[in-house]
Chains A and B, each alone.
Chain A
Amino acid sequence: MKLSKIQILAITITRIVMGWHFMFEGFVKVLSPNWSAKAYLLDSKGFLSEFFFWIANNDGLLMISDIMVSWGLLVIGLLLIIGLFTKWAAYAAMILLAFFYLSHPPFPGLEYAMPGERNYYIINKNLIEFLAIGLIVLFPVYDYSFDKFMIKVKEEGSDEA
């Protein structure tokens, strides 16, 4: 399937915007020394809440999850913006988003201590972002990305051979 110029541009912008969101979230967390996912995890509700409490109440697991989330967001975001290992970054982003979604699923009857906008029913922003990143994986575009160099290097390498 050949994409039109405007389609390529739309996918590229989506990738960069997602990356921006991830990287900024990651940056803020990495830069604040007291940040921890503990309170967020303890606020978990729904069918997997026990699992998230278990992480929150286990110092080792909590440390790992804090690092994975803060640095994970930052690195994933960076890779998405510059378009390096885009596919793998997108998969990792989807895994993180799935965790965010499952820890606070917007199911009817669940109330969270977390303040803010909340008129969601089953679908929330985490799920939408999850699906949008899925599109990036399904419609690979290499323009405006470091991945392009990788492909070129590979191609040139195989040309010489």
Chain B
Amino acid sequence: MKRREILKGLVTLPLVGALAYGAYQRNKYFEQVDQEMLDDIQLDLDPLPEIKAFTGKPLKIGIIGCGLRMKYILKSLGYVSPETIDEYRKKAETDEAWERFLNSYLNQPELGVEITALCDVFDVNAELGIRICENKKKQGTAEFTRTNSVKRYSTYQELISSEDVDAVIIATPDHMHAPISIAAAQSRKHIYCEKPFSWSLAETYALRDQIKKNDVVFQLGHQNRQIEAYNVAAKLIKKNVLGKVSLIEVTTNRNSKNGAWVYPIHKEANPNNIDWKQFIGQAPWHDFDLKRFFRWRCWWDYSTGLSGDLFTHDYDAMNQIMDLDIPASAMASGGIYYHKDGRTVPDTLNMSFEFDKQELSLLYSATQSSSRKRGRMIMGHDASMKVDQDLKIYIDRDSTKYKDKIEKGLIDPSQPMFTYSPGAGELDAITSATERYFAGRGLMFTNRSGKQYDTTFLHLHEWLNCIRDRSIKPSCDIDRSFEEGITALMGTISYKEGRRIYWDAEKESLI
């Protein structure tokens, strides 16, 4: 072979060298960034405890209010109607994701509860509720037989005073949360109550006092407390990854009938099967009205509006992540701009809260007539964090802390620097979409033994755990709940009165 031919054959070799050098340099760059930015964060992430089934004597549970939300809670507790089991089975026959869901649902860890009592002011809800609560064995219609193990009470007072009840789960209209919880606390029943904490200011204090005085375990239904990403977010912020945070923006965007609380009216509903007087409770009297009954969120008489129904989720999530406590002041404005259906609560609401201790503003902005998603963003001088089921951190282009790295081209501010997606584990029918995100470059934290759980299930599990072991406290305990109650009311009162509301932390009163 001629020398020229050999050289010609080898001419591409330097290219391989150049490429290898480029790849090596690139890799070194990213390794350096990873190490500098992630090492100290990773150290802090302890694995969460595994979910174990409860054994021993079951706790006797009373169900108060059995509408849409309670059916979801019951499902998380492990109770669905035989018809629902049939439906799951049918779907599982043709759909693998449903099959996985059904299997994991049937094998959900036992919570050690026994539902003994139920009350609802609407007969149809109560009867279906009883059917659901009697289906402890998760049977379909073919196998299901009535057990008569669940007693229906006609009032919540009777249910609460029953000796057959150790603890209650409350999912009623907002205006009844506190009166029922207070009655339950006075009868020494443990309480899991849906959010918001309260409807009026006076009962907010009264409820806290009664819970503390009677020493019962209270958990408010903010299941976001169980979202692993939020705990990760809290740790990242403590590590000062974002720098000084000055503004948090949280939003609600909905554009559907249900999203605007225009719920369907049950065909069979009438004055004979609805205990209207009990529904009204402490609210001002109004004649029987099916709209008010099924769409109660639209009237201040029973509702806490956007502030109580939806802002509380965001507030509690931010309180969980940043230990906000009660704001120093609140200011709100908005109006009924789209849903002119006789409602009294606004369908568009903007509220701003000032937190003096942390020196930051929390902005909440909501509309029920646009589904444009804006998400939740925590904004710091060095980085912003977008908080959802997953979380993303974007480094700020004018950051001081990361200045060198931005200049060197190590960081691209337009791309998330860290991404955390929960559940590298199994897919299920409901959350599979969240899992299909790219984890991005950076790190992917592991989650609870790689298994996904329904957050309401975890929240209930925690509450029950705290009843059995009084040395531990629920994550949304009475103090966190009180903070939520006062904060949401500050916004509502500001809207109603058209002025800025201040919180006097020493006297614990609103000005």
Contacts and interface: CB of A to CB of B under 8 A. Distances in A.
B435 A42 contact: yes
B444 A78 contact: no
B386 to A, nearest CB: 14
B470 to A, nearest CB: 41
A34 B23 contact: no
B429 interface: no
A40 B439 CA distance: 10
B437 A113 contact: yes
A32 B23 CA distance: 11
B26 A148 contact: no
Interface of A is mostly: helix
A146 B15 CA distance: 14
Contacts of A83: 9, 12
A57 B425 CA distance: 9
A23 B1 CA distance: 29
Contact of B19 (A27, A42, A113, A148): A27
A23 B11 contact: no
Contact of B12 (A27, A115, A144, A156): A144
B9 A114 contact: no
B83 to A, nearest CB: 29
Nearest to A54: B96
A105 to B, nearest CB: 16
Contacts of B424: 38
A24 B22 contact: yes
B499 interface: no
Contacts, number: 70
Nearest to B427: A57
A145 B9 contact: yes
A113 B433 CA distance: 10
A128 to B, nearest CB: 22
Contacts of A143: 8
Given A34-B443, A81-B15, A82-B16, A43 B436 contact: yes
A95 interface: no
B208 to A, nearest CB: 44
Interface in A37-53: 38-40, 42-43, 50, 53
Interface residues of A, number: 32
Contact of B1 (A32, A113, A149): A149
Contacts of A40: 438
Contacts of B436: 39, 42-43, 113
B438 A43 contact: yes
Interface string A17-37: 000100110011001101000
Nearest to B13: A82
B206 interface: no
Contact of B15 (A20, A28, A32): A20
Q: Which of B9, B16, B23, B437 has the most CB of A within 10 A?
A: B9
B46 interface: no
Nearest to B426: A57
B1 A152 contact: yes
B263 interface: no
A27 B437 contact: no
B5 A148 contact: yes
B244 to A, nearest CB: 29
B412 to A, nearest CB: 12
A34 B444 contact: yes
Interface string A51-90: 0010001000000000000000000001001110000000
B435 A145 contact: no
B30 interface: yes
B20 A27 contact: yes
Contacts of A31: 23-24, 27
Contacts of B13: 82
Contacts of B443: 34
A142 to B, nearest CB: 9
A78 B16 CA distance: 7
B26 A149 contact: no
Given A23-B19, A24-B23, A152-B1, A82 B12 contact: yes
Nearest to B444: A34
A16 interface: yes
A61 to B, nearest CB: 15
B439 A27 contact: no
Interface in B353-406: none
Nearest to B16: A81
Given A27-B20, A39-B437, A81-B16, A146 B30 contact: no
Contacts of B16: 23, 78, 81-82
A39 B439 contact: yes
Nearest to B22: A24
Given A144-B9, A152-B1, 10 more contacts: A20-B19, A24-B19, A27-B27, A28-B23, A34-B444, A38-B424, A40-B438, A50-B96, A57-B427, A156-B1
Interface of B: 1, 5-6, 8-9, 11-13, 15-16, 19-20, 22-24, 26-27, 30, 96, 424, 426-427, 435-439, 443-444
The 8 closest A-B pairs by CB, nearest first: A27-B23, A31-B27, A42-B436, A39-B438, A82-B12, A148-B9, A113-B437, A43-B436
25 contacts: A23-B16, A23-B19, A24-B19, A24-B22, A27-B19, A31-B24, A31-B27, A32-B27, A34-B443, A39-B436, A39-B438, A39-B439, A40-B438, A42-B427, A43-B436, A57-B426, A81-B12, A81-B15, A83-B12, A145-B9, A148-B5, A148-B8, A149-B1, A152-B1, A152-B5
